Amino acid sequence: MEIAIIAHDGKKAEMIQFLMDFKALILAKEIKLISTGTTGKNAEKSGFKVRKFLSGPYGGDAQIAARVAEGKTNMVFFFRDPLDRHPHEPDIAMLMRLCDVHDVPLATNPATAELLIKAI
């Protein structure tokens, strides 16, 4: 199973905490993590093996959206910061739309991500 992890700057600490909380499950289920650049660097510093793509504003969200469309990514955890503006909002919207089009579970907050990861 491949799970994409993405977090806006204001949510990166929450993403790392989430990953740490479920590290045993992620390792036991041999979940492959992919991510946008900076989120992936933070996850690696916390001991996770991650395949990193470009940073979100430089096309990373679009790269992950392509993997969703290709059927390679099974789930997306995208901890969005709804209180901040993001210059790459069209890419974010595209990723979310493709998750809906291809019926890929998408969590935009830790509570939803927890429900999804526990269902694996």
Cite the active site residues: 61
pLDDT in tens, 73-91: 999 999 998 887 767 778 8
Residue 23 neighbours by CB distance under 10 Å? 13
Residue 49 has pLDDT above 80, yes or no: yes
- pLDDT at 102 exceeding the cut of 90: yes
The encoded tokens of residue 79 equal 């901890």
CA gap 106, 66 in Å, rounded: 15
CA 105, CA 20: separation in Å to the nearest integer? 21
CB 15 within 8 A of CB 7: yes
> pLDDT category, 3, cuts 50, 70, 90?
very high
Structural domains for the chain: 2-118 (3.40.50.1380)
The whole-number pLDDT of residue 83 equals 82
pLDDT > 90? residue 39: yes
pLDDT at 66: 97
Pick the closest to residue 8 from 65, 60, 44, 70 (CA basis).
60
**Which is higher by pLDDT, 85 or 29?**
29
